[in-house]
Amino acid sequence: QRNVGILAMEVYFPFCCVDQEKLEEYDKISKGKYTIGLGQTEMGFCDDNEDINSLCLTVVARLMEKHHIGYENIGRLEVGTETIIDKSKSVKSALMQLFEESGNFDVEGVDTTNACYGGTSALFNAIAWVESSAFDGRFALVVCGDIAVYAHGNARCTGGAGAIAMLIGPSAPLVVEPGLRGTCMRHAYDFYKPDLTSEYPVVDGKLTVKSYLSALDACYQTYCKKANKHLKSKASPFCLNDMDFMVFHSPYCKLVQKSLARLTLNDFLWNNTSLYSEEDCMAFEKLEEFETTSLENSFFDRNVEKAFMAASQPLFQRKTLPSLLLAKRVGNMYSPSLYGCLASLLISKSASELLHKRIGLFSYGSGFAASMFSMRVVEDTSQFTFHRLVSGLLDVQARLDERKCLDPAEFTDVLARREKAHAKADYAPSAPSDRLFPGTFYLRRVDDKFRRTYERT
Ligand code: ACO
């Protein structure tokens, strides 16, 4: 199969959010920490009547309806999530309720879990299926969803929630570039969820940042090596200049800006900033004092960070900032975060700015698992045109603005309610209210055998 990639996508985020500036006041921390220090404006959250199944049911139903796709046309369905409500039963199996009417149960795939990386693993699996001998001509569907909540403390402001569904197939307008992938998988206890009685992770904040940045270095180096080998038309080494846009898993927007700067540090140490456009290149000319910087020892080096953030500012503005709309206003959706950045980029730029361009993607999941890969925007090659893909996402901005911002005290009450509801049987969640978008699936009841039933607003 040729040009395998994303044909269509849909984004779901919750109707309720909390304003980060108000949260700063409520948490009695210094003004500007969440908004300027971390770069966040709002954080989305769900009440106890939404769970990972309902989020994924909503996003899949919306995608299928919006694009008029029949469920009989799906041959593989993969879910990436770290929001575990059952140690055995997959979210994918809950999604099969949507297939009942079509009578199509010949659908491969189950769930994939590793922190925020599950969605990327699901995407890679779906692409491999379309490219394989098992492909039967139908589409694959990749769903990533999570509810990111933290215990009271300094990580709580970096939560979020949402789900993204992507239709995968050949002749796609967003083609995943074959052979161009750099992966780094290691063992770390930076963020993990060993306590199944709680929704909250155990987090070593500093180690998560160090792990994220070290994975970024490793994936970029491997990606560049492979790009140098595969892109035979290229005479000069691959560098950031060859990525027209660069999107990242976004736990908070400031880390993304630091990450873009980090890629320029890598390029600088390989003398590749000289390959940037004349204007971009000039910004790095006065940084000789950093020529002996060690990547391994500079994760928290303020001088290095400051110098490269400043030098890469115009590159950040052009290549990455347009991808941060959802990350800034919804927060860390975990596994859908990277794909929320991709969707944000697609709606922030015009078709002429995107066509024929390369988009680099960096996926990181704690624990740790990370990959860098790339997509190319190609001209209309199937019924799923680039125009159609983008048109399907154009309601995102209006939905973001339509949300209800609740007071931090109410947000705290909701999280307390979720804590109480977690892992409970014979439980009736809050009734659906005007705090759900129309067409949202919600959890109606958990019966005495932990069986969950859903309805739709
Ligand atoms: N005005 C402006 N900036 C401020 C202010 C202020 N009043 N106060 C603090 N800041 C800045 C700090 O200088 C810092 O910026 P810097 O790193 O550029 O110097 C930033 O705000 C954050 O402040 P810290 O003191 O470093 O924050 P803290 O240690 O309390 O927590 C952290 C931050 C680690 C991200 C925490 O929220 C956390 O653990 N989150 C969850 C883990 C996470 O998201 N990790 C990222 C990758 S893994 C993943 O995706 C889950």
Q: What is the 3-state secondary structure (H, E, C) of 77-140?
A: EEEECCCCCCCCCCHHHHHHHHHHHHCCCCCECCEECECECHHHHHHHHHHHHHHCCCCCCCEE
Domain boundaries, the chain: 5-456
Q: Are 441 and 61 in contact (CB under 8 A)?
A: yes
Q: Render each residue's pLDDT in the chain as its tens digit; 457 residues.
A: 799 999 999 999 999 999 999 999 999 999 999 999 999 999 999 999 999 999 999 999 999 999 999 999 999 999 999 999 999 999 999 999 999 999 999 999 999 999 999 999 999 999 999 999 999 999 999 999 999 999 999 999 999 999 999 999 999 999 999 999 999 999 999 999 999 999 999 999 999 999 999 999 999 999 999 999 998 788 899 999 999 999 999 999 999 999 999 999 999 999 999 999 999 999 999 999 999 999 999 999 999 999 999 999 999 999 999 999 999 999 999 999 999 999 999 999 999 999 999 999 999 999 999 999 999 999 867 789 999 999 999 999 999 999 999 999 999 999 999 999 999 999 999 998 889 999 999 999 999 999 999 999 9
Residue of 154, 210, 250 to mutate, ligand 1, most atoms within 8 A of C-beta: 154
Q: Number of helices (H) and strands (E), helices first, in the chain?
A: 15, 16
Topology of the domain comprising 5-456: Peroxisomal Thiolase; Chain A, domain 1 (3.40.47)
Straight-line distance from the first to the last Cα atom of the chain, in angstroms, rounded to the nearest whole number: 39
User: Which ranges of 285-367 would DSSP assign to H, the alpha helix?
Assistant: 302-311, 313-319, 325-330, 337-348, 351-354
Q: What is the DSSP letter of 36?
A: I
> Count of residues for the chain?
457
How far, in Å, CA of 78 to CA of 126, rounded? 7
Q: Which two tokens stand for residue 392?
A: 């399907």
Nearest to 217 by CA among 269, 140, 146: 269
Three-state DSSP at 403 gives: coil
* Angstrom distance (rounded) from CA 238 to CA 235: 9
Q: Which of 33, 199, 339 to mutate to test the pocket of ligand 1 (most atoms within 8 A of CB)?
A: 33
Residue whose Cα lies nearest atom 51 of ligand 1: it is 251
ipTM over 0.85: yes
Instruction: Report which residue type is found at 453.
Output: T
Catalytic residue among 17, 56, 116, 184: 116
Q: Residue 171: which region, alpha, beta or left (left: phi > 0; alpha: psi -120 to 50)?
A: left
CA–centroid distance, residue 197 to ligand 1 (Å) = 27
Distant-in-sequence, close-in-space partners of 139: CB < 8 Å, separation ≥ 6: 7, 69, 73, 74, 75, 76, 167, 168, 169
Residue 150 CA, closest ligand 1 atom number: 41
